[in-house]
Amino acid sequence: MKQKKKAQLRIFETVSVLFVSFILLGMGMIFYGNQNQKSVEREIEKNVELRALNIAEQIQSMPELQCSTSNIITERCFEKVKLEKLNELQPKPDYFSAFGFSEAYVDEIYPATQQWKIHENKKDNFKSKITIQIPVTITDTAAKQNKFGILTVGAYD
């Protein structure tokens, strides 16, 4: 009877040690999982930001939008007539293979205000969206006038 009780105590002791060990292990895993999740989220955000910058850089170097005279390119400049004509093209150029889920607009902010859409492919269930804005010049070639504009790029993940 006494021996049986001793054995029961030993089993209880083992089970308790295992229980505490698994609780500690579980807590450790939850903590690690949370940290990992945060690090993954930070990584995703960084990647989306990088993608937005990359898209902005690509848009600024598109010959169908860029300001040029005899193939000499003006940096951070869009030709107004090209912005208008690109929007008139039928069918619209599909930049999805290059820009993926993102949107890009050029806004004239002075003297007039108007907007030209370059690419729009919104994602419904996105984890992260980063929007960047870059000041640009919009040139009216025929009138020989420069206007202030903003290139806005929003990238989704």
Partner 1 sequence: MLKNKKAAVEVQFHWIYVMLIGAALLIFFSAILLQQKKLTEEKRNREMLNKIEAAFGNVQSKQGLSQTIEGKFVIKMDCATNSLAIGSAGKQSSSNPIFSSKNLDGINLTLSSVSWDMPFRASNFLLAATNNEQFIIIYDTNNPNSKALFDKIISVLPEKTKYDMQLTDRGAKKVRILFLDVPQQQGSFQRAEDVVRIKVADYDFGNIEFYNGKTLPSNPETAQFVGGASILAALFSDSKEDYGCGMKNAYKKLSIVAEVYEKKAEEFSGNSNLQHCKDSSGRNYYTTAKTALAQIKQEAISTAPNPSAIYSQAENELKPANSELLKKSCPAIY
The H or E element spanning position 73 is strand 72-79
Contact 132, 52 (CB under 8 A): yes
- Closest residue by Cα to residue 108 from 116, 120, 119, 117: 116
86 binds partner 1 (CB under 8 A): yes
To partner 1, the closest distance from the beta carbon of 88 in angstroms equals 6
Torsion angle of the four alpha carbons 110, 112, 116, 120, in this order, in degrees rounded to the nearest 10: 70
Residues 100-129: x/- map of binding to partner 1 (CB under 8 A)? x-----------------------------
Size of interface with partner 1, in residues (CB under 8 A): 35
Of 1, 4, 5, 70, which lies in the binding site for partner 1, with binding defined by CB under 8 A? 70
Of 9, 16, 88, 113, which lies in the binding site for partner 1, with binding defined by CB under 8 A? 88
Please, which residue, 109 or 132, has the CB nearer to partner 1?
Answer: 132
Residue 152, classed as helix, strand or coil, is strand
Contact 118, 59 (CB under 8 A): yes
57 binds partner 1 (CB under 8 A): yes
50 binds partner 1 (CB under 8 A): yes
2 binds partner 1 (CB under 8 A): no
